[in-house]
Structure 1
Amino acid sequence: MLRLKITDARAMIESALAANGYTADEPATIADHLMDCELRGLGYAGLARAVAIIEHDRRSNLTRRAITIRHESAVSASLDGGDDLGYLVAMRATGMAITKAQASGIGIVGASRTHFTGMFSYYLERVTAAGLVGMIAGSGPSAVAPHGGTEPRFSTNPIAFGFPSDGLPVIWDISTSSITHAEVLLAMRLGEPLPSGSAFDAEGNATTDPSKVLGGGAMATWGGHRGSGLALSVQLLSMMAGQHNVHGPYPEPGDFGYLITAIDPGLFGSADEFRRSVSAYVEQIRQTRPLDPGTPVRLPFERSVKIRERTLAQGHIEVADRVVETLHAFAKQTSSGG
């Protein structure tokens, strides 16, 4: 592992993206998201994801088009992502949902024809900072087997909720697969095994070999039949958002759907009172008698924020050598190989 200053890591991401077709403020927008993952201890979604983005772009030879609006009303919109990167498309969708909710009380925006939308809690921090309640669901091509099966039918299908409070927002962000696609990619890059029971090969046998998962296999769902049902619901929401290739295997390029709902709690009464009530209820949960006296009950997102604060204070992150070497190489190249 290599130790990198936070500023150097961010600059490395931006340089590699700028050398591979991303222009204007796009590298900075993407790098901010990826670095937030690194700061929160999610290395597989940080610099390693920058490598995956550039590799994906080169393999698929996509021609990125402008993000356009298919349909729009005062409270809703449907976006065509133009085969652009999901980190950029989702930021546009999130901004629109916030603006509509602030104006009309609710904003629902769907987007498709995109890929790699990232960590949903990143967007929900922006929603809750605006005093809004948020829900995001997203999906992509088939990569996850339903409970009781071994063939891919779902994507990793993350879903997330965010609620404002007078303190830290309450944000719950999960994948409905046992492991994420980014974790499988990083494990293959580093030559490491996957957790036992998390995946199948193309013949339906349990495997810990990431190359067999990516070579026609499938990840397992999280949470048994309950998680499988949640994954199905997310997939259907993604279809409503416009995702067009639900029924096929994981192709290049793969289409991803993104659906965000932002709600002004003031629709139902005092928004200030709602935030105070959330804060009071959160404190009740924290005061729950713990199963282990040495381990207090915590809420979703709290640990992630503490890790981020600690990482920012220390000023550096640790990244696998191979990831850093690959990013350095990409920064010296162009998408056409120059």
Structure 2
Amino acid sequence: MSASASIAPRHRPEALRAFAAQLFGAAGMEADKAGAVADILVEADMLGHDTHGLELAARYLGEIEAGTMALRGEPEILSDRGAAMAWRGRRLPGAWLVLRALEAAYERVAQFGIASIAIGDCHHTGCLAAYLQRVAERGLVLSIHSSAPGAASVAPFGGVKGTLSPAPFAFGFPTGGDPVMIDVSASITTNNMALRLIREGRRYERPWLMDAEGQVTEDPTVVQRGGTVLPAGGQDHGQKGYGWALTAEALSQGLSGHGRADGAPGMSNAVFLQVIDPGAFAGLDAFTRQADAITGNCRASPPRPGFGPVRLPGEAGLRRRAAAERDGLALRAGILDALRPWAEKLGVAMP
């Protein structure tokens, strides 16, 4: 194979957004919702979170075909006390609901300083990191928890049977330069990564899973046979991820009023997000002054042997994003191939 033949083609991010939005629109999704989902999926790919980018689009289209993702309508407002709201998502697209919640939060945070919104029974939210930059660029802080009540892929520390979801958490805040963007989960790896490795016939490099008998393993296929993903902290300190998962499920499912107690199969998600305006406290200038001191100290820490300079969370993703804007986005092999049958079925031109 020639060198040129092995190079993945690059696509303009806006072309990929338009392609994904056209797919979802052709499948019956309202235009604003289709655009929101496409935006968040492509943003994930640009940041390097490609297990939660356009790779998910084929699964979403399958959910639409099966009737398990709502395509039209509005969330039900369960409670509204100004700085705090609870919505029932009615299985509407999670990306659209989260972006809608952020718009509501922007209005309220100007008045109250803090705005908190819990959303129950929404469809999959996608990559949480994809929401952070847009909030931080407004000079605001975002904290967002998500859980999947229908998933039980993480066992409580000391147990064998899965009872919890990986419970991702993202936190973003402004600095004097680029924002800090943290996107982690209560599990040591993700369900989507395990599924990708299974598809590709690969194993993990470390024992990050546990089989149904409680033995740790690198084999991702155990999740299809009653096995689980280890909590963050692994087999030695998994109480950390266990406690974190409980916190995420309490905030997202408890405050939204919808979760495991109701039975929520499929790609149902629950979300809790909080937007904070530093201006309501000591002020944005004071906040960024402290943030710059903290992050500057981290960068100044001498690297360990074999490591490069210390990076901040989200730094590599923002670098990838800038490169994708400049040079185009190279998608992982197989992503567009998986969407080709859907494009042909729905009459949408491939990018």
TM-score relative to the length of structure 1:
0.88
Structure 1 position 300, deviation (Å): 0.8
Determine helix, strand or coil for the equivalent of 1:82.
coil
Q: Which residue of 2 aligns with 1:240?
A: 254
Q: Which residue of 1 aligns with 2:26?
A: 19
Change (3 A) 1:43 1:254: closer
Structure 1 position 169, deviation (Å): 1.3
4+ long deviations beyond 6 Å: none
Which one is further off, 113-122 or 285-294? 285-294
* Aligned counterpart in structure 1 of residue 296 of structure 2, from 266, 283, 286: 283
Determine helix, strand or coil for the equivalent of 1:84.
coil
Partners of 1:154 and 1:47 in 2: CA distance: 26
Structure 1 position 301, deviation (Å): 1.0
Q: Which amino acid aligns with 1:164?
A: P
Tell me if 1:264 matches 2:277: yes
Tell me if 1:227 matches 2:241: yes
Determine helix, strand or coil for the equivalent of 1:148.
coil
How many correspondences in the alignment? Answer: 333
Which one is further off, 236-245 or 164-173? 236-245
Tell me if 1:46 matches 2:53: yes
Tell me if 1:328 matches 2:336: no
Partners of 1:194 and 1:230 in 2: CA distance: 23
Change (3 A) 1:294 1:252: closer
Query: Could you list the runs of 5+ residues in structure 1 that have no partner in the other structure?
Result: none
Q: Deviations over 1:182-231 (max 9, x none)?
A: 21233334343344422234554545554541454322111222122112
Change (3 A) 1:56 1:181: farther
Q: Which residue of 2 aligns with 1:74?
A: 82
Determine helix, strand or coil for the equivalent of 2:304.
coil
Q: Which residue of 2 aligns with 1:158?
A: 168
Q: Which amino acid aligns with 1:48?
A: E
* Aligned counterpart in structure 2 of residue 125 of structure 1, from 125, 130, 133: 133
1:24-43 → structure 2 map (5 Å cutoff): 24-43=31-50
Tell me if 1:57 matches 2:67: no
Change (3 A) 1:77 1:245: closer
Partners of 2:37 and 2:222 in 1: CA distance: 30
Q: Which residue of 2 aligns with 1:295?
A: 308
Change (3 A) 1:153 1:243: farther
1:121-200 → structure 2 map (5 Å cutoff): 121-141=129-149, 142-200=152-210
Contact 1:12/1:331, CA 8 A, preserved across alignment: no
Contact 1:221/1:227, CA 8 A, preserved across alignment: yes
Contact 2:68/2:91, CA 8 A, preserved across alignment: no
TM-score relative to the length of structure 2:
0.85
Across the aligned residues of Structure 1 and Structure 2, the Cα RMSD in angstroms comes to 2.5
Q: Which amino acid aligns with 1:263?
A: I
Q: Which residue of 2 aligns with 1:91?
A: 99
Structure 1 position 294, deviation (Å): 6.0
Partners of 2:270 and 2:88 in 1: CA distance: 10
Partners of 1:117 and 1:286 in 2: CA distance: 32
Q: Deviations over 1:246-293 (max 9, x none)?
A: 2588x6434321111111112222222222221233222211222238
Tell me if 1:102 matches 2:102: no
Q: Deviations over 1:45-68 (max 9, x none)?
A: 112111121223334544444222
Aligned-residue identity in percent? 29
Partners of 1:83 and 1:149 in 2: CA distance: 31
Change (3 A) 1:11 1:203: farther
